[in-house]
Amino acid sequence: MKIKSLYLNMLLVGMSLGTAWAIRGQFGHEHGAAFAGALGSLSVLLLVNRKDWLAQAFSITLAGAFGWGLGGMMSYGLVVGYGRADDWGNVFYGLSMLFVIGGLYGFLGGGLFGLAISKGERELMGWAQVIVEMVVGGAILYFFLIEQFGWYMTPPRSEVWAICLGMALALCWIFLRLKLHAALRVAAFAGLGGGFGFAFGNFLQVLGRVSEIDFNFWNVMEYSLGFFGGLGLAYGTLTSAWAEEKEARSTQQAFPIFMLVLIIPFVMWQQNFEWERIQETYVKLIPFDVPRIYAWVQWGSLGLIACVAMYWIKRLLSSKQPNAYATTWAFFFSMWALYITLSYLITGAIISGYRSEQYLYALNFVVVFAVLSKASPSFAPKEISYAAWGKNLLFVLLFIGLLAYILPQTHGELKGAHKRFGEAVEDTLKK
């Protein structure tokens, strides 16, 4: 694979997942992360364009969505606040813990994506067993780290990161036990990218806050997590040794289709398009209170989701055998367009330009689809070197340490800053 081609493919996936993760900032939690993870997974499948993978595109995409969505359980609001402190120790703690949280997002998302591809290549353990092992791993680690040892990352917020860490370790053990080195490589690089992206994004977010530039730098941090996580996801996939492409074999797609086009979008709507939230947003954008507009936004968004869902359910469950690449391309296009539209509706960007970052989503969307057809990816497998991975991890941590040194030099105590260590600990615990 030519280096230029590799970088272009990584860039396209990074822009896809980065934009989706920035949009996720309007929705949050597991459902928003799952929607973003699905779009990132679809971008990889389209770039690779293997017929056997595209034949199972919806199953693979759902696995990726589920993996990225699991990380949505974790709390990181206070951790971001540590990055705003005025001393190296607390800032380094905040950035390094964001590295852990972002790493768990990427490892679980990339790992389940890689596992789904591997399951398409040969018979492996069923998904039920995978889920059971991950749930047990999460419960055991949470019990010991949190309940027994009291190793709190972000008191008094939720410590679900420990559950995600236990699930990630259980997934890693599955990879090692079954010798799924390609899937492990995808998980590792997606985790490395996601972790670095979250820490670096917090660095950019604080600098943006200090600069007083009128822009949503919180969204920059979210984009950074998705962008670098996407780079890692693409790099891990394209540099792994997969089985030779074989005759496309379609599997039952009804369940993943229903989950991707109906269940995940509906939950996202139910959790976010509340009357009070819509009213609070739109009453600031229009000169008077118009309940009809709030109802149009609330029920119009649901109708849009329903129309898209009915179209794809009817199309994909028909007896016809559509072209797999064209179908996946159209699905990626329509679901991403739906995600952007829902973001415009919930933020009011559809009638006001006060949220300028919203229109950058559309720009990324146009660029990705303009370049996507010109991409020509090929695989360039590399050997797994645990020593090299260790050096990369050490280098990233040292770089995060450098960022933690730079940040306090740019500001004093910022609003929203938290301290895990030092004289402000008691105040933090009381909040």
In tens, the pLDDT along 102-147 reads 999 999 999 999 999 998 777 788 899 999 999 999 999 999 999 9
Q: What average pLDDT does this structure show over 223-228?
A: 97
**CA-wise closest residue to 205 among 422, 411, 358:** 411
Report how far residue 406's alpha carbon sits from residue 419's, in angstroms, rounded to the nearest whole number: 17
Q: 349 is written with which tokens?
A: 């960007």
Instruction: Determine the residue type at 349.
Output: A
In a domain, 208, yes or no: yes
Per-residue pLDDT reduced to its tens digit, 312-340: 998 887 756 678 899 999 999 999 999 99
Report how far residue 285's alpha carbon sits from residue 266's, in angstroms, rounded to the nearest whole number: 26
In a domain, 50, yes or no: yes
Yes or no: say if 76 and 53 are a contact pair by the CB < 8 Å rule: no
Is pLDDT of 155 > 60? yes
How far is Cα of residue 12 from the mean position of the Cα atoms in its chain?
15
**CA-wise closest residue to 328 among 47, 64, 10:** 47
How many residues belong to the chain? Answer: 431
Report how far residue 164's alpha carbon sits from residue 142's, in angstroms, rounded to the nearest whole number: 9
Residue written as tokens 């979250």?
Answer: 198
Report how far residue 197's alpha carbon sits from residue 230's, in angstroms, rounded to the nearest whole number: 10
Its domain, for residue 412, covers: 3-124+180-252+355-425
In a domain, 419, yes or no: yes
In a domain, 307, yes or no: no
Backbone angles phi, psi at 419, to 5 degrees: -130, 125
Distances (CA, A) of 150 to 79, 146, 169: 17, 5, 19
Is pLDDT of 74 > 90? yes
Is pLDDT of 287 > 90? no
pLDDT at 289: 77
| Beta-carbon contacts of residue 381 (< 8 Å; ≥ 6 apart) | 239, 240, 241
% of residues, the chain, pLDDT over 90: 72
The pLDDT confidence band at residue 294, using thresholds 50, 70 and 90, is very high
pLDDT at 428: 46
Yes or no: say if 341 and 27 are a contact pair by the CB < 8 Å rule: no
Yes or no: say if 48 and 377 are a contact pair by the CB < 8 Å rule: yes
pLDDT at 286: 86
Sign of CA pseudo-dihedral 119, 120, 121, 123: positive
How far is Cα of residue 207 from the mean position of the Cα atoms in its chain?
23
Q: Which helix (H) or strand (E) holds 288?
A: none
In a domain, 274, yes or no: no
In a domain, 142, yes or no: no
Say how many domains are in the chain: 1
Is pLDDT of 429 > 70? no
In a domain, 412, yes or no: yes
In a domain, 346, yes or no: no
pLDDT at 192: 95
% of residues, the chain, pLDDT over 70: 95
Per-residue pLDDT reduced to its tens digit, 161-172: 999 999 999 999
Q: Which helix (H) or strand (E) holds 220?
A: helix 217-238
Is pLDDT of 431 > 60? no
Per-residue pLDDT reduced to its tens digit, 349-374: 999 988 999 999 999 999 999 998 87
**CA-wise closest residue to 344 among 278, 393, 289, 410:** 278
**CA-wise closest residue to 382 among 228, 185, 180:** 185
Per-residue pLDDT reduced to its tens digit, 394-416: 999 999 999 999 999 998 878 88
Q: What average pLDDT does this structure show over 382-405?
A: 90
Report how far residue 124's alpha carbon sits from residue 340's, in angstroms, rounded to the nearest whole number: 37
Eight-state DSSP code of residue 148: I
Residue written as tokens 């991950």?
Answer: 134
Is pLDDT of 423 > 80? no
Report how far residue 391's alpha carbon sits from residue 400's, in angstroms, rounded to the nearest whole number: 14
Q: What average pLDDT does this structure show over 377-403?
A: 87
Is pLDDT of 222 > 70? yes
* End-to-end CA, the chain: 53
The pLDDT confidence band at residue 240, using thresholds 50, 70 and 90, is very high
Is pLDDT of 1 > 60? no
pLDDT at 252: 67
